[in-house]
Amino acid sequence: MSVSNHENRKSRSSSGSMNIQLFHKTSHADSLLTQLNLLRKRRVFTDVVLHAGHRAFPCHRAVLASCSRYFEAMFSGGLKESRDAEVNFHDSLHPEVLELLLDYAYSARLIINEENAESLLEAGDMLQFHDIRDAAAEFLEKNLHPSNCLGMMLLSDAHQCQRLYELSWRMCLANFANLYHTEDFLSLPKDKVQELVFSEELEVEDECIVYEAVIDWVRADIGRRHLDLPDLLRCVRLALLPETYLWHLHLFICYKTGLCLKKNSC
């Protein structure tokens, strides 16, 4: 149709009033994603290849940049990476997890379960798929239990999932008496042990449990952790311990850490 014919038809159809209609196909977004996904699987118009482990994933930069601030920054930053036809994550990202992220990018759908939730949270945070990170965190919140709360506390702290962290933290404090002898507790970093035992909200029947937790944690790697003992003991209310515990502490320092005072004070 020529421009002049279009103008003539506009004039003939005009009644002098505004008569408009909005056409909106609600399924267009889904159809578009479906077609893009088909193009990806056929490797049509793909302009970047992601590598993880020994697998390769041809993709469209525009789709990745639309879903992830990480890829948006990578492809638009003007650096060497923005021009590279390949991005290699090596072993920092499991190929099955990357595949899940890409399936979500091209379908807006993702199945989260107990086996992949933690990996999806970590990968979602790493590649700034924030929707996936938050969805995985919400899944883990619903499956939080005393048996996994210590691990969830560390995971959520590392990946800035505030609500999951707060729920995990409160569960750790409430169940401390049953947690301090577990492998998860004994493998905690020093700062988390300090925060837990020093908290006013720690739920324990008496201070002996706090003392035992500190000693057990130090004993788990005494070669390196004996130097942490003074800092941790400052978090224990020693005045509330029975005299037998204080004597035990004295012997522990003397014979286990080699910090005994000279002149045979032991």
Residue 227: inside a domain: yes
Domains in the chain: how many in total?
Answer: 1
Query: How many whole angstroms separate alpha carbon 171 and alpha carbon 136?
Result: 19
- The arithmetic mean of pLDDT across residues 192-212, rounded, is 93
Residue 213: inside a domain: yes
Provide the whole-model pTM. Answer: 0.82
Residue 244: inside a domain: yes
Q: What is the pLDDT of residue 246?
A: 66
- The arithmetic mean of pLDDT across residues 69-73, rounded, is 93
Q: What is the pLDDT of residue 239?
A: 80
The CATH number given to whatever domain includes residue 218 is 1.25.40.420
Query: How many whole angstroms separate alpha carbon 92 and alpha carbon 226?
Result: 33
Residue 94: inside a domain: no
Residue 179: inside a domain: yes
Q: What is the pLDDT of residues 73-104, one digit of tens each?
A: 999 877 677 778 899 999 999 999 999 999 99
Q: What is the pLDDT of residue 50?
A: 96
Residue 49: inside a domain: no
Residue 247: inside a domain: yes
Q: What is the pLDDT of residues 165-189, one digit of tens each?
A: 999 999 999 999 999 999 999 999 9
Residue 243: inside a domain: yes
Residue range of the domain that includes 237: 175-266
